[in-house]
Chains A and B, each alone.
Chain A
Amino acid sequence: MLLYEFKLAFKSLRKNPILSSLMIGAIALGIGVCMITVTMFYLMSGDPIPHKSDRLFAVQIDSWSKERPYTGSTNEMPFQLTWPDSTALMNRAPDFPQTAMFKSSMIIEQLQQGSELRREIVRITGRDFFSMFDLEFIYGTSWTEEMEQQAQQVVVLSETVNNELFNGQDSVGESIRVDDREYRVVGVVKDWNPVPNFYDLNNGSIEDPEAMYLPISLSEPLAMTTAGNTNCWKPSTGSGPQAVYQSECVWTQYWVELKNADEVAEYRNFLEGYYAEQQQLGRFERPQKVAVSNVREWLNINQVVENDNRVLVGLAFMFLSVCVFNTVGLMLTKFLGRSKETSIRRALGATRMTILRQHLVEVSSIGFVGGILGLFLTWAGLSVIKFATDIPEQLLHLDLQLMALALILALLATLAAGLYPSWHIGRISPARYLRT
């Protein structure tokens, strides 16, 4: 019987192609918009480094002005540290893996003459960075403490840049030119691009992967400049690129890896001590406030999943329900156009339930086709987003779960749309439309 009903449904869809494609199109559009926003939402609210997110901690120190608190964050502390604080922490904090870091933008070229100049995003960071954030070395290793102390000019390349500069060969020991200085390659890591890029959220939560990594120990001597956000409450004294290194402006991120609550307590303790000490020296005019936040807490403090995003998901579902309401009208029109046929079927022995089922099967077919088309729209939409944002491939692909969700959503939506029209037509009395 079900087969018969599918046959009838198919016939009916084919009979009125415009009406059918309107219904299918409405469902597909609703599903597509919903799935795209849901995918983006999950991407943003997902854990970017699941196996370690409870052991990596962002450090905050309230170095802001006496007059007013920092207003950009939910815990009223600046997201970043000043350079003097970052250096103090790296030199004096308890001995856990930790690093200050910032984003820079530099010109890269090969050593031989006449090679092409390219500007790339570069991360200036400490040697612990690679193990803390689980970057995967293809060749070589991180630079060593010794190299830092000797101020050796070394660099770790990303796979992409290594492919472009060295055809993907092992480039350890080779040299390249960065901002007119020669750097020796000590390692090559796989491209690293977590979404959201929790370790530096100052420039949006989705960013291009970094091209290479330079030792932060070189940054002050070489007067490297940040390409990220810098926030100041007090004008910096002095001028030139070095001025910002002495200022009360915040512009470095600071992360520490702590394995358990004891270590967290120890570290916090140190921060509080440091805060008190600096207050005595005449800095830090606000009531003592420091924070170490794990990745999840950090994403909340930064409002990565902003209320806007939730509103967007809500709007997407509202759009879907508009599509559904629209479809209710179309289905009612379509089904009522079949009143006489339904009367005939009733006279020939179809029960109310049979008629209801026949129409629900038709509705489900519309939902199924709409769902498939919706999936296609989702795929197309995500491709555009991928193209426009450089979100890594594997994070934005349509997995089976998502496809199942889309189809189920499509079926539920169309069933919701088709329930009333189907029920309505099921109630047609057999005698009603049989008179001439």
Chain B
Amino acid sequence: MLAMNNISKVFRTDLVETHALRDFNLQVNEGEFVSVTGPSGSGKTTFLNIAGLLDDFSHGQYVLDGEDVSGLNDNERSRIRNEKIGFIFQSFNLIPDLNIRDNVEVPLRYRGLSANDRRQRIEKALSIVGLASRAKHLPAQLSGGQQQRVAIARALAGEPRLLLADEPTGNLDSMMARQIMELLESIHSNGTTIIMVTHDAELSRRATRNVHIMDGQVSEINLHEQMQANVAQA
């Protein structure tokens, strides 16, 4: 699904240069559910932003779905974001002035779908996350967990091949977190590739593979080996 070869990302401000990613290598296959862990500031969000074409990188090569995206212009990058990628953020990032339905509609608008097509997809996505009855509500009228489910519906409505989630449960209590996780698992079981950044070890373990990032580099640990190590320690 995606392959990053020797990707580097440097943030430059007037005072400092931060190497957020250095010689970053990672391959994710179609249909995987990858959890990304690592200490704060290690470069997880940076990685996810580059993977989702929200940010560009300083060096290296990035192939997404068989296409080298390094040289693409804004229109092409926007189109790929719109058609292939779904985003879920820790802070939900719903548009506060739009009701639930109109929020889910945003990516469909930019894809230029017909009104009928849009309506069907919105209804389907909202019923998957169990919020069909809240279509006319504003985000502020929903709980955090519900808002995150709206965000998931918005990501799902476009039927993306790749779902990128940055600490999707970070702002939620454990009950709600579990609900969201179950939702993601069922989406994964339908064939969508998911990459999820999380601090929660338990959630991380439920992914098919865990990628650990330290100082902008991958130290990949096979989940199986990790568990065996845990057992051995005990």
Contact = CB atoms under 8 A, between A and B. Distances in A.
Contacts of A15: 97
B52 interface: yes
A424 interface: no
Given A431-B49, A434-B89, A434-B93, A349 B54 contact: no
A348 B75 contact: no
Contact of A347 (B45, B79, B87): B87
A344 B55 CA distance: 13
Contacts of A430: 54-55, 81
Contact of A351 (B55, B78, B91): B78
Interface string B62-78: 00000000000011001
Contact of B112 (A1, A346, A431, A434): A1
Contact of B109 (A4, A353, A429): A4
B154 interface: yes
A354 B78 CA distance: 10
Given A434-B89, A435-B45, A347 B52 contact: yes
B55 A431 contact: yes
A341 B94 CA distance: 8
Interface residues of B, number: 29
Contact of A348 (B55, B87, B96): B87
Contacts of B90: 436
Contacts of A398: none
Interface in B124-147: none
Nearest to A340: B93
Interface string A1-14: 10010000001100
A1 B109 contact: yes
Nearest to A433: B93
Nearest to A348: B107
A350 interface: yes
Contacts of B89: 434
Nearest to A343: B93
A354 B54 contact: no
**Most chain-B CB neighbours within 10 Å: which of A1, A4, A341, A349?**
A349
Nearest to B74: A352
A345 B97 contact: no
B123 interface: no
A70 B109 CA distance: 75
B224 interface: no
Interface in A356-411: none
Interface in A330-350: 340-341, 344-350
Given A1-B112, A431-B49, A346 B93 contact: no
A42 to B, nearest CB: 45
A349 B49 contact: no
A341 B98 CA distance: 11
Interface of B: 45, 49, 52, 54-55, 74-75, 78-79, 81-83, 87, 89-91, 93-97, 106-107, 109-112, 154, 158
21 contacts: A1-B112, A11-B97, A15-B97, A341-B95, A344-B93, A344-B95, A345-B106, A346-B78, A348-B82, A348-B87, A348-B106, A349-B83, A349-B107, A351-B74, A351-B75, A352-B78, A353-B75, A429-B54, A430-B55, A430-B81, A431-B55
Interface of A: 1, 4, 11-12, 15, 340-341, 344-354, 429-431, 434-436
Given A11-B97, A347-B87, 6 more contacts: A340-B93, A431-B49, A434-B54, A434-B93, A436-B90, A436-B91
Counting from the closest, the 9 A-B pairs by CB-CB distance are A349-B82, A349-B110, A431-B54, A348-B107, A351-B78, A431-B55, A436-B91, A430-B54, A431-B49
